[in-house]
Chains A and B, each alone.
Chain A
Amino acid sequence: MNAIPLLDVRDLTVEFATRRGTVRAIERVNIAVGKGETVGIVGESGSGKSVTSYAVMRILDRAGRIAEGAITFGGIAIDKAPEKVMTELRGREMSMVFQNPRAALNPIRSIGRQIEDVLIEHALAVRSTAKQAAIESLRAVKIANPEERYHAYPFELSGGMCQRVVIAIALACRPQLLIADEPTTGLDVTTQKTVMDLMVELTQARGMSTILITHDLGLAAAYCDRIVVMEKGKVVEQARAASLFSDPAHAYTKRLLRATPRLDSNVRDLLPEPKPAPPPMPQGAPLLEVRDLVKEFSGRRGAAAFRAVDGISFTVHEGESLGLVGESGCGKSTTSAMVMRLLDPTSGAIRFAGEDIAATPAARFARSPLRGKLQMVFQDPTDSLNPRWSAFDSIADPLFRLGGIRRDAARGRVEELARLVGLPQELLDRFPHQLSGGQKARVGIARAIALDPKLLILDEPTAALDVSVQAVVLNLLADLKVELGMSYLFISHDLNVVRLICDRVIVMRQGRIVEEGQTESVLHDPQHQYTRTLLEAIPHPPAIYQGEGLPA
């Protein structure tokens, strides 16, 4: 490494004062970032990767404090610097890009003014020159029509656009260090690629150093020189990107690598322990037939109606899993809401188990005997559970409402469901905030299978989970399907995840199906240009790691 790193973090320990006493968020963390270097910090939630970066910027919450260690940036002792110095450093010499770009911008201030604020604060512009400088900053992040966009508010821009604005704010004063904290989480894969490429282009052109914080090993591999792996507040391993993937040293790194889906892994490969593959299910008669389904949303006065779903047809057979893939706004969620009978289609037929269920209005479908046979697992395991209900209440709810089971008789069935989804019995009396993300996901799944559904709609069931938890949940879903004889309609933006579960896959774009076929053939031999673009945008870990005791 170069003689003196730009940023040197030595034995950094950060403590948070909580009601239950002091908690160490990170402990003795050592990270060095050289000039022009890109360092990735990877780890799952709670690993302390964000806390580390907040400590470097000295923007920890009031409750947090640097307890031990030293942070040196360009010869300045950050940990001891007075707030006045920090205000000058932040934005000027080191700056940060955040997750969830729309929330990261002031909602009631035009984006141009927000960039101006930074330029004026750091004396790089005065009132009269600020507007022009802000427009230049917008142009630098490749925002079309920067003169017009200058007046736009965050709510008028897409997520990708907002992230460009956040980057423009971060880079406006040409700092030496950029910290990007999950900059593309929640963005579509193609948007992720353009945002990341833009960030790399700008930082390289300016010789900047970058810290990329991410939970996505593939992303870290594609863009970082060196990778630091964190677990539970400690650095467990750091290595050059290439060697980390070919020769991981720490057990946690290995586990993380295994759990990250690759182009060639199957669902069992993700688990730390090998397990025989679930037996293939014989495919039966058509269970769900969707014909010429259309959903129009009326436009604002005078504007043409917007077709969210534009005449799509597909079939799910008994025992089959079908993946529905596309980026945000492609109509996949509208489709799933219509199939689930939560939303009435404008036209088209939905035949489920031989009956045209689209004929029953969504408002009355809850009374249909087929309601229990068509169930859903929702995207956010936390938000989809009633915070005032215990796990037992949530799982038992469909039994009471649709299953006609009395309260005292439900206990046995709920315990059986908990066993099926691998939820320990003693957790049944806990409330959502007392459960981990994976446990909440299991509760959501148990609730969905409570009435023996024939078709389960899975709406990004693992998008909010850490990769290691995602690995377990995906395997659980694969097992349950065989055990209970269900069919799946799997909605996702992530082709890599869909691949692991689905026999067939449909790619949607702008309300239409652009490609449909067997999963393997669509992934390895995509026919449509859009499918190719999607596939190319997914970052993959470079070399395939073959750990000991793994089936080749």
Chain B
Amino acid sequence: MSTLILRTASNYLLPVLLVFSIFILLRGHYLPGGGFVGGLIAAIAFVLHAFANGLDDTKNLLRFHPGFLMPVGLALAFFSGLSPIFVDQAFMTGLWFPEPFPVIGNVGSALFFDIGVYLVVIGVTLTIIFTISESA
């Protein structure tokens, strides 16, 4: 399946798709999108790259096992939920910066929670697909 066209295209598609996935992640609070879909799109980007260039290439590109994204994401989601505790609010109360940031928009604890979901979904999907394709 590693044709020249696909291989060349995938090198350009990977960053585009990743940026797209982040776009989807960030717009999730106002428009269709969010961490779950964003994570799936990012995972698809890597899988496409792996199809074109072989699994080892993608792994080298990643430098670390995608499984490590799972604890990182879980921790991020957990601590974003925990953060209101420090300002005497209940667990998982939404906290927001008063002014919106340029490009990103409003930033709050829910965004970090969503980033956590995003990372976990990438980690889970890639771990499962990489493991299965290695053993198939």
A, B assembled together: no
